Amino acid sequence: MGCEQVGDFKKVFAYDTTLRDGAQTEGVNFSLEDKLRITQKLDEFGVDYIEGGWPGANPKDTLYFKEVKRLPLKRAKVVAFGSTRRPGKRAEEDELVLNLLKAETETITIFGKSWDLHVTEALRTSLDENLRMVEETVAFLKRHGREVVFDAEHFFDGFKENEEYAMKVLEAAVAGGADWLVLCDTNGGALPHEVYDITKKVVERFGRFAGVGIHAHNDSDCAVANSLMAVLAGARQVHGTVNGLGERTGNANLCSVIPNLQLKMGFEVVPAENLKRLKELAQFVAELANMPLPKNMPYVGDSAFTHKAGVHASAVLKNPRTYEHVNPELVGNRRKITVSDMAGRSNLLAKLKEYGIEVEPNSLELRKLVERIKELEKEGYHFEAAEASLELLIKRHFGLVRDYFNFDAYRILIAKRKGDRDPVSEATVRVSLEDFEEHTAALGNGPVNALDRALRKALKEFYPSIADIKLIDYKVRIVNETAGTAAKVRVLIEFTDGRRKWATVGVHENIIEASWRALVDGFVYKLMKDEEENL
């Protein structure tokens, strides 16, 4: 296969193992439906191979290969993963190998030991038998018309300790007819210069017979760099996972590998127009994995193109290249200028422009707003993480937010009697809307949940869309720790209505009042956005 040309670009094949290696992440448990949805998303994004799991290893993976046939995939090849035959068995008699054929995939990946230590200590067999296991299993699968990817497990460790034997393992795979030789840094300990040198030797020796690939783990925090260096050395298949999911410290993060290869190194990995869906893909997988996407993740994190310092914001507004290594829109992200006590007028002007508000840079109103924001942040407000509260603050300052309801009172009752397992929380809320007064009460799992329910009851007849709001995160942090139990607390609440997400903040010495402020801002923001959309 080697280096395939596509137009003026060199083609690198993206091999995704989120559903197999990624599923080994501590705390991740993809359902069958999750795996099918991720498969569809990966195909739409444009990866070349999707490793679906190990058929026969568990009922879910076996069922996946049946169900995935029903998906109308347009580009990706679904891959069944497994091992070479076991020592002393014939490939055609080994149930583990036969299960790979039963999956009925066009491509099969098998791993085999390429570190002599593993052959003698883990497999407890001879070095020669291991070579036969590799060659015979590959040959058996090739006779059944499959494209075979051979994962040389622990290749870099094996090469460094016994180069001759590691190369013999690849020779055995080539003799069996393997289409791809994938060099695995299974323990994740190799460094970029080592990966480059070793991959180059493999490509020079075997590149005429099979394509070479890289499968890097991130235990030394070098998985992305190692993948790039392998490609520079001639590898043309890159294994990885979305968001770097994987056992221990994870696998090479395709959300970094792909844009680096495509935007900076001149390779084609996915169709250019699809790269704009990278952040969407990352967020989608994060949601199904139930692992929040780190804000500081390169390319796709919410903070990847965020500018906080005033000097940075001022420069990036004049020319984005001053503080951005790529255009965020190329990967589906966006530039964000945050406003904080570190920021100056440049940041705020950028925000005002984003909200469609035009003001003179030296106006008194702008200076007042800057001072107001800095004053609030000194009190403990944190607008970087609560853009909805910031937008409301700015628009209220310019008289652009109407009163959707007027607050009159709230009351919280928390009671626990002898014999009760849990305390009972009840909230009473009184608000006025136009000429009406709503006085409602609700029970909740806790005081904030009770307040949330009571406020919804009060507003739902006037604003039915309130029912769409869900609270998805609630964080409390002490602002001034030295004050002990009298300290201020900052409450951050994240909301969604199924179409968008937003976060609000409230600060007060009383945690209930801080929560109430963030809660009210969250509801008002939803009503304001609904109204703006209908204008």
| Mean confidence (pLDDT) of the chain | 91
| Rounded average pLDDT over 65-71 | 96
62: confidence class by pLDDT, cuts 50, 70, 90: very high
Q: Is residue 162 part of a domain?
A: yes
What pLDDT shows up at residue 3? 44
pLDDT, one tens digit per residue, over 186-242 is 999 999 999 999 999 999 999 999 999 999 999 999 999 999 999 999 999 999 999
Q: State the angle between helix axes of 447-459 and 511-534 in degrees (0 to 180), rounded to the nearest 10.
A: 30
Residue 72 lies in a domain: yes
In a domain? residue 176? yes
Q: Determine the pLDDT at residue 7.
A: 37
Q: How far apart are the first and last CA of the chain?
A: 56
What is the pLDDT at residue 9? 45
Q: Could you give the number of structural domains in the chain?
A: 1
Given a cut of 60, is residue 322 above it in pLDDT? yes
Q: Indicate if the alpha-carbon torsion angle 16, 18, 21, 22 is positive or negative.
A: positive
483: exposed, middle or buried (Cβ count in 10 Å: 0-12, 13-18, 19+): exposed
Q: How confident is the model at residue 325 (pLDDT cuts 50, 70, 90)?
A: very high
* Chain-centre distance for alpha carbon 171: 37
Cα of 473 vs its chain's centroid, Å: 17
Cβ density class 396-431: b for 16+ within 10 Å, e for less: ebeeebeebbeeeebebeeeeeeeeeeeebbbbbbb
pLDDT digits (tens, 9 = 90+) for 355-385: 889 888 888 988 888 888 888 888 888 787 7
Residue 117 domain-assigned?
A: yes
Q: State the CATH number of the domain containing residue 141.
A: 3.20.20.70
Give yes or no for residue 311 having a pLDDT over 80. no
pLDDT tier for residue 4 given thresholds of 50, 70 and 90: very low
Assign 339 a pLDDT band (cuts: 50, 70, 90): low
Asked if 513 and 445 count as a contact pair (C-beta separation under 8 A), the reply is no
Evaluate whether residue 439 is within a structural domain.
Answer: no
Question: Is 513 domain-assigned?
Answer: no
Backbone CA torsion sign across 320, 326, 329, 332 = negative
Q: What is the pLDDT of residue 433?
A: 87
Confidence (pLDDT) at 379: 87
Cα 235 from Cα 230, distance rounded (Å): 5
Tokens of 149: 């990817």
21 pLDDT more than 70: yes
Given 3-state DSSP classes, what are the helix, strand and coil percentages for the chain, each rounded to the nearest 5? 45, 20, 30
182 inside domain: yes
DSSP lists the bridge partners of residue 489 as 478, 508
| Residue 44 domain-assigned (yes or no) | yes
| SS3 at position 240 | strand
In the chain, what percentage of residues exceed pLDDT 90? 75
Q: What is the mean pLDDT of residues 494-508?
A: 91
Domain span at residue 133 reads 4-270
pTM of the model: 0.73
